[in-house]
Amino acid sequence: MPRRDTTSSKTLVPSEEIAVEYRALREDCVRILQTWLKALSIAGEDRKAWLQGQVTNDLRDFEAGSHLDACVLTPTGQVVSAISLWALEDRFIALVPEGRFDATVERLDRMLILEDVVLEGIAGHRIISVQGPNASRALSQATELPRLSAGPGSGAMEPCLFLRHDATGSGGWTVICPEHQFTTLEEALATTAVCSEATFDVARLEAGIPRNAFDYDENTLVMELGPAFVEANVSFTKGCYTGQEVVHRIYSRGHVNRTWMGLRCEGAVSRGDRIRAAAREDAGKVTSVGWSPESGFIAGALLRREAAVPGSAVTVVSESGPVQARVEHFPLRGR
């Protein structure tokens, strides 16, 4: 069985550790080892035309150095995985949630017939993310960064791939680093603060970035992940791709029965807590939780359509009692 993604706590409460790490992330930069991601190489002469028919976003302008986000869907529109893609001169690189990696490769491989495309997991590497406004400056201590959004390092860091990647709303890079180079990279980043997974999760939740096994799973329709996510990950002007018919049917109808929304909460809540609303008793459930010095207690929730109204009030049924919350579209930070 694949490892499910987990965080350190089902319920996140204020702590000095999170406050310190959060300030470093928002004001300077931090580094975190992203053990919940795996890297996939997509090579071969037909890779672009073939992948255009497999993912939700438009690859027509996807050239070397480019980056985009997209989803791989089932034929019935459910999310196999949300992925980030970068184009190199000779291949594409995809970052895929570890818990959905095998299913993603299996789904893509099933659509290969005679195309010259090679799918291969990148083994023997670690994935480290450097996030924050000073991420580029910190990484420049180790290498000359690519001018565009993707490319190899220079000097001792040449075997590493440097991918521009905003995973928290404050900008940053993700580095795919061979095991034998990892110590060298860490030494170059020695003055960069280490970020815990809990703090990283707060930041990505503020930014409205859903996470596998928390905010979506194999039963989630891509259109249920909210307007900001859909705008960034789905093209409605490209050609056909697997799952497109369902996506366009929902788009034409104008709504789904549930939507991933943000909550500003008056107290701590937990993943899995039920939600009540005036419109209906079974309004949804909490999928992710966070606390930050800027946003206070926040959460992500899959809400039924009647309750997914920005500005409306809902009640989270927590173990310690009812907690009032206000519904908002993502992103939560800066509102």
Over the chain (335 residues), what is each successive 10-residue block's mean pLDDT?
46 88 98 97 98 98 97 97 98 98 97 97 97 98 95 94 98 97 94 96 96 96 96 95 95 90 97 96 97 96 97 95 97 86
Q: Exposed, middle or buried by CB within 10 Å (0-12, 13-18, 19+), for 17? A: exposed
Which distant-in-sequence residues (6+ apart) come within 8 Å of 157 by Cβ? 142, 143, 181, 184, 185, 188
DSSP string, 209-249: ---BTTTB-TT-BGGGG-HHHHHHH--SSS---TTHHHHHH
Pairing of strands 79-87, 284-292: unpaired
Residue 121: the pLDDT is: 98
Beta strand ranges found along 74-224 (DSSP E): 79-87, 91-97, 118-121, 125-131, 150-152, 161-164, 172-178, 193-194
Q: Find out whether 21 and 199 touch, Cβ atoms under 8 Å.
A: yes
Grouping H, G, I as helix, E, B as strand and the rest as coil, residue 196 is coil
Q: DSSP class of residue 307?
A: T
Residue 335: the pLDDT is: 66
Residue 281: the pLDDT is: 96
Residue 255: the pLDDT is: 82
Token pair listed for 144: 């000359």
Q: DSSP class of residue 270?
A: B
Query: pTM (2 decimals)?
Result: 0.94
Residue 10: the pLDDT is: 77
Whole-angstrom distance, CA of residue 177 vs CA of residue 89 = 18
Residue 12: the pLDDT is: 77
Structural domains of the chain in order of their starting residue, each with its CATH number: 17-204 (3.30.1360.120), 257-335 (2.40.30.110)
Which distant-in-sequence residues (6+ apart) come within 8 Å of 312 by Cβ? 277, 278, 326, 327
Residue 6: the pLDDT is: 47
Residue 254: the pLDDT is: 78
Token pair listed for 99: 């818990």
